[in-house]
Amino acid sequence: MNSSFIRKPENMFALVCLVFSTLGFVFMGALVAKPKVLFGQSLTAITPSIFPSIILGLLALLCLAHLIIAKRNFVPSNEQGIIGIGRGAVFFSIMTVYGLVLVPLGFIISSSITIAVLSWYTGNRSKLQIALIAILAPIFLYLSATRLLAVYLPELDVIELAISRLLG
Amino acid sequence: MFDLFTEGFAMAMRVDTFLIMAVGLFCGMLVGALPGFTTLMAMAILLPISFFLEPLVGIPFLLGIYKGGIFGGSIPAILVSMPGTGAAVATSRDGYQLTQQGKSRKALDMALFSSVFGDTASDIFTMLMIFPIALLVMQFGPPEVFSVLLMSLIIIAATSGSNIIKTFIMMMLGLWLAQIGTDPLGGVERFTFGLFDLRSGIPLLPMLIGVFAIPEVAKVVMENTKARQLASVMGERLSFAEFRRCFKTICRSTVIGTGIGTIPGLGQVVAAMMGYSAAKNASDTPENFGKGEIEGVAAAEAANNAVNGPTMVPLLTLGIPGDNVTAILLGAFVAQGLRPGPQLFEEQGATVFAILIAMVFANLMFLIIGYLSIPVFSRLVTIKVSVLIPLVIMFAFAGTYVFRSDSIDLLMLVIFGIFGILAKSAKFDVMPMVMGFILGPPLEYAFGQTVALSNGNFVGFFLTERWGAMMVLIMSPLIGYYLWQRLRKSTA
Amino acid sequence: MFVKSLKTAGKLLAFTGAAFAASLGTAQAEYPEKPITLVIPFGAGGSHDLNSRVVTSIIPTYLNQAMIVRLTPGAGGQKGSQEVASSEADGYTLLFSHNYLDMLKPHVDNLPYNAMEDFIPIARVNYAPIAVIVNADSPFQTFEDMIKASEAEPRSVSMAHSGNWGALFVPAAQIMKSRGVQLNLVPYEGGGPATQAMLSGDADVTMGFPSVIGPLLEAGKIRVLATSGPERIYDDVPTLSESGVEGDIGFMHRVVLAPAGTPDDVVAKLEAAFTALQEDKTYKRLMGRLGENVDLMLGDEYQALREAQSVAYKELVDAITQ
């Protein structure tokens, strides 16, 4: 296979799927545990590896079929890659950090920081506006979620205590 | 029966019933509009409040929350491509495209009208045919669920894209992702690589938000255009001519949704996708679907709301809740001294009819409440990008977290976001993957149940006792092939 | 009519107001000084969810703090349990569990926590006894008929249950063990669908809690073959122990657990609150309306039961699985 064929995103995607589905299919025994046996009858009517075997087998065949057909009809062309990969990388890094600090820093602080950074990054230059949404939005959402909807969001003990006192 | 009906009608005509229903509808809509904060959650939280109200106030209140919540889910699906439930996926497909064309108000209006129509029609049908439906429901079991699920997957694959192999690749990928965790039948670990975090599997919400919403937000960030030209316009309201054009589609979807509602355990996801696929197939311009065809919004919304009527039937006639929503309603009924079951109609017929009639009126009221609220919601798209994006990200993360309080889900959200962008650039449609992911576990479950019920003689069981399911199984590849060929010809 | 609605609105306000006032109550130096989280290791809308909504809506009156429900479903309840096991033992994170998840699961799964060492019971809130039921037109008139049929041809009788090692599965396994018979166990997604399968004839037998099966029984759609517990629930229906199935079987105990190492004064506060709850009229009424009983058992007493359960379940699992 020549490199421009495989560099085309869809073919690369299919190739990756082909490799991992074949690996999964081959090592099925190690990846799927055995069910317990109850009074000589299996605890499950069907073996837990049947469905994964069918799915991964079909996936491998389909990826192979795609690659063969794509190879046959292949016309080299210069396709444009993803635009703005750099900005995308920054954006996803911000989100990853948000995801990592949401629990340790609590919802309000981590959201405030993320909102401020993202708002600035997407072109907001009004400091007042950034400060307003970065502070008010997380507090508003936190209060409505935990007090009105009675669901749980992570928050530092100190802040939760302060909020309880302030409202009380 | 007719005198019970008229008596019920008179009972339902109360000011407080209507007032509290309006409150429920509005609150439900707000909660439903937040992805991750499910309608179910809102109903469970407010259930104790309904205990303190009379039957004809408390139950309509909960019904209002439920109905408002379903429509609420289509708001973020249309405006920011963020479906909070599987049922809203089909709506967001064309709905978000319409928003990008500056027609968000039209899309929301269409979603409102078609869901109210689908719901009302199926409620009335249910009321009139409650006992025949009850008999029909008893005919369906795991074999039927299995065959209909398999047929749905085949139809979704056949009608969703031009390249059938790529569609099937994505569907298989979704089916496989759903297998990570513990298997639905025996609780045996699969593909967990010994990680405890993977034992409970990949949750749906990070996948939904990750592959549908994050790539759209990321696109705006990456292209770095300060203002979206068209997308920030709310556009005009829906015209009567447009509604009339979609009327046939709405009716078709209503029938499909009502039918699927009678099969226990299939629900809104299947209905919405089937309604959408059918509309695409029947259309003269199927190539417009997925590119902002308002008929697509109508088809999906009418179908997923039409499921509601028949799902109430096992609850009312047998006292058996089919899903968590009806389980909560059962709690509310019991708390009010109404014990759903075979004798409910004999003992409390008028009250039950009053509740069903209130349900129909809830729909009509919702038409007004929704119509007045839509301009407020669609104002969301006029917020400037640098404010909207941070807020969307915060809601996405908060919603993902409250879904099951696990920070690992936040990382999954990011990973699915990256996956969504890669799939898009490789021109793979993520929708079949999500459908495979949602429908895979019930498919395997129903298959396992069928094998258990057949006591080892699987084929014989289908042939001798379940010929209806057998027919569906035989027909589905043929239907799939026919639909695929037809679409290929009409789009070629 | 208008006055009536005003009254209901008033009640509503009073109710939410009470919950609110309690949640925001004046700051105190001692426990609890912030809202308590009650983790439910199951999904929304299940019986644990509904029971907890009643508990958490009334208990703030006695704790002077709100109790927030946190649903953490996953891996059959393991996920939520694991989270509470690893959380700080300060009384601000509690688990709402049941006996099968608490004491049986450790014997069938490899858990990331040790149920006996990581948790202490605070209060058993209530319990529900189970009944073996068949369709009214079933050939099985008595429990013995069913046993005979499955003795004659093993696995010919199919029994719908609500998931492996769940509330319907364990009693069935205990029947199979004690009577030496084999039933064909078919899983359903919950007790409701299992009952429906029995009614539609897909399955021959299933089980249900009396609160759920009441209406079906009154309508003559089903027949009860046996019930759990030491005393008969229905006069003409034998108990499981009369039918040769001994032990603490067929009870779903809903229990609030705390991480082990929770300070004694905190435990005492919580126990006092649950004791006061037990006497609360509104609480009793609401639980009654849900069809649940109110039968409190405090930590120490339940701990003894727990230890007995652990031994019994281990014997059961060892005896029937390979």
Judged by CB atoms closer than 8 Å, whether chains meet at C108 and A165 is answered as: no
CA angle B402, B404, B406 (to 5 degrees): 95
B218-267 pLDDT, tens digit each: 988 888 765 555 566 777 888 889 899 999 999 999 999 999 988 876 68
Q: Is C37 within 8 Å of chain A by CB? A: yes
pLDDT of C45 reads 63
Rounded average pLDDT over B352-363: 87
CA of A166, closest CA in chain B: separation in Å?
A: 23
CA of C144, closest CA in chain B: separation in Å?
A: 22
Task: Find the CB nearest B179 among A51, A84, A151.
Answer: A51
Contact B155, B274 (CB under 8 A): yes
C257: confidence class by pLDDT, cuts 50, 70, 90: very high
C285-298 pLDDT, tens digit each: 888 877 788 889 99
What residues make up the domain containing B67? 2-491
Separation CA C44–CA B364 (nearest Å):
29
pLDDT of C94 reads 94
Maximum Cα–Cα distance across chain C: 68
SS3 content of chain C, % helix, strand, coil (to 5): 45, 20, 35
Judged by CB atoms closer than 8 Å, whether chains meet at A149 and B222 is answered as: no
Task: Find the CB nearest B176 among A49, A56, A91.
Answer: A56
C3: confidence class by pLDDT, cuts 50, 70, 90: very low
C269: confidence class by pLDDT, cuts 50, 70, 90: very high
Structure ipTM: 0.91
Contact B78, B111 (CB under 8 A): yes
| Count of domains for chain B | 1
Rounded average pLDDT over C191-209: 88
Between B41 and C132, the more confident residue is: C132
Query: Which residues of chain B from 380 to 409 reach within 8 Å of chain C, CB to CB?
Result: 404-406
Across the A/B interface, how many CB contacts are shorter than 8 Å?
A: 204
B372 pLDDT higher than 70: yes
Separation CA C206–CA C135 (nearest Å):
9
Q: Which of C150, C189, C283 to mutate to test the interface with B (most CBs of B within 10 A)?
A: C189
Q: By mean pLDDT, which of B156-165, C6-15, C214-223, C293-302 is the weakest?
A: C6-15
Separation CA A14–CA B488 (nearest Å):
23
B462 pLDDT higher than 90: no
Chain B residues in contact with A141 by the CB 8 A cut-off are: 394-395, 398
pTM: 0.87
Task: Find the CB nearest C176 among A39, A151, A161.
Answer: A39
Contact C134, C208 (CB under 8 A): no
Q: Record the tokens describing residue C64, joined without a space.
A: 């002077």
Residues in chain A: 168
Judged by CB atoms closer than 8 Å, whether chains meet at B320 and C75 is answered as: no
pLDDT > 90 fraction of chain C, expressed in percent and rounded: 27
C20-44 pLDDT, tens digit each: 444 444 333 578 877 888 998 887 6
With 0-12 / 13-18 / 19 or more C-beta atoms within 10 angstroms meaning exposed / middle / buried, residue C29 is exposed
Closest-approach residue (CA) in chain A for B428: A10
Place of tokens 């046993």: C147
Q: Is B334 within 8 Å of chain C by CB? A: yes
Q: Give the number of other CB atoms < 10 A from CB of residue B60.
A: 30
Across the B/C interface, how many CB contacts are shorter than 8 Å?
A: 171
Q: Is A105 within 8 Å of chain B by CB? A: no
Q: Is A58 within 8 Å of chain B by CB? A: yes
Q: Is A158 within 8 Å of chain C by CB? A: no
- Sorted by sequence, the CB contacts under 8 Å of residue A63 that are 6+ apart come out as A14, A15, A17, A18, A21, B169
Strand A37-38 relative to strand C67-71: parallel, antiparallel, unpaired?
unpaired
Q: Record the tokens describing residue B197, joined without a space.
A: 């975090």
Separation CA C158–CA B37 (nearest Å):
39
